[in-house]
Structure 1
Amino acid sequence: MYFDNAEGPVFRPPSEAYSFILRVTIGCSHNACTYCNMYRSISFRTRPMPEIVAQINAAKPYANHIRRIFLADGNALVLATDKLLEILNLLSRTFPRLQRVSCYAGPKDLLRKTPDELAALRDAGLKLVYYGLESGDDEVLRRVNKGVGAAEAIEAGQRIVAAGIKLSVMVIAGLGGKEHSLNHTRNTAKAVNAIRPHMLSALTLMLYRGSELLAQFERGEFVPLAPAEIMGELHELISGVELPANSHCLFRSNHISNHIALAATLPKDKDKLLDDIRTAKIQLAKVTDWDPYNNVE
Structure 2
Amino acid sequence: MHFTGRTWRPPYEANSCIIQLTSGCTYGKCRFCNLYKYEPFRLSPLSGFEEDLAEIKRYQPGVRRIFVTGGNPFALSYEKLKPYVLIVRDYLTKCQTIAMFASIRDIKNKGVWQLNSWREGTNFGDADIY
TM-score normalised by length of structure 1: 0.40
Pairwise CA distance, 1:29: 0.5
Identify if the C-alpha distance between structure 1 residues 73 and 5 changes in structure 2 by more than 3 Å, giving closer, same or farther.
closer
Pairwise CA distance, 1:110: 0.8
State the AA in 2 paired with 1:62.
Y
1:88 correspondence with 2:93: no
1:68 correspondence with 2:65: yes
Gaps of 5+ in 1: 129-297
Q: 1:192-207 residue pairs with structure 2 within 5 A?
A: none
Q: Secondary structure at the match of 1:33?
A: coil
Q: Out of 106, 125, 128, which is 1:126 matched to?
A: 128
Contact kept? 2:66, 2:98, Cα under 8 Å:
yes
1:50 correspondence with 2:52: no
- Structure number with greater CO (CA < 8 Å, separation at least 6) is 2
Give 1 or 2: higher helix fraction: 1
1:32 correspondence with 2:34: no
Pairwise CA distance, 1:5: 3.4
Contact kept? 1:63, 1:94, Cα under 8 Å:
no
CA distance in 1, matches of 2:64, 2:89: 10
Contact kept? 1:84, 1:121, Cα under 8 Å:
no
Contact kept? 1:81, 1:121, Cα under 8 Å:
no
Deviations 1:119-167 (A, max 9, x none): 2222122342xxxxxxxxxxxxxxxxxxxxxxxxxxxxxxxxxxxxxxx
State the AA in 2 paired with 1:4.
H
CA distance in 1, matches of 2:16, 2:36: 21
Residue 5 of structure 1 is matched in structure 2 by 3
State the AA in 1 paired with 2:62.
H
Contact kept? 2:63, 2:92, Cα under 8 Å:
yes
1:21 correspondence with 2:18: yes
Pairwise CA distance, 1:92: 1.5
Aligned length: 125
| Larger Rg, first or second structure (1 or 2) | 1
Residue 110 of structure 2 is matched in structure 1 by 113
Pairwise CA distance, 1:82: 1.9
Report the identity percentage. 28
Deviations 1:189-221 (A, max 9, x none): xxxxxxxxxxxxxxxxxxxxxxxxxxxxxxxxx
Contact kept? 2:23, 2:42, Cα under 8 Å:
yes
Q: 1:186-197 residue pairs with structure 2 within 5 A?
A: none
Q: Kindly report structure 1 stretches of 4+ aligned residues shifted beyond 3 Å.
A: none
Identify if the C-alpha distance between structure 1 residues 79 and 127 changes in structure 2 by more than 3 Å, giving closer, same or farther.
closer
Q: Compute the RMSD of aligned alpha carbons.
A: 1.6
State the AA in 2 paired with 1:82.
E
CA distance in 1, matches of 2:109, 2:17: 27
Gaps of 5+ in 2: none
Identify if the C-alpha distance between structure 1 residues 24 and 17 changes in structure 2 by more than 3 Å, giving closer, same or farther.
same
State the AA in 2 paired with 1:126.
D
Pairwise CA distance, 1:72: 1.2
Contact kept? 1:85, 1:121, Cα under 8 Å:
no
1:79 correspondence with 2:76: yes
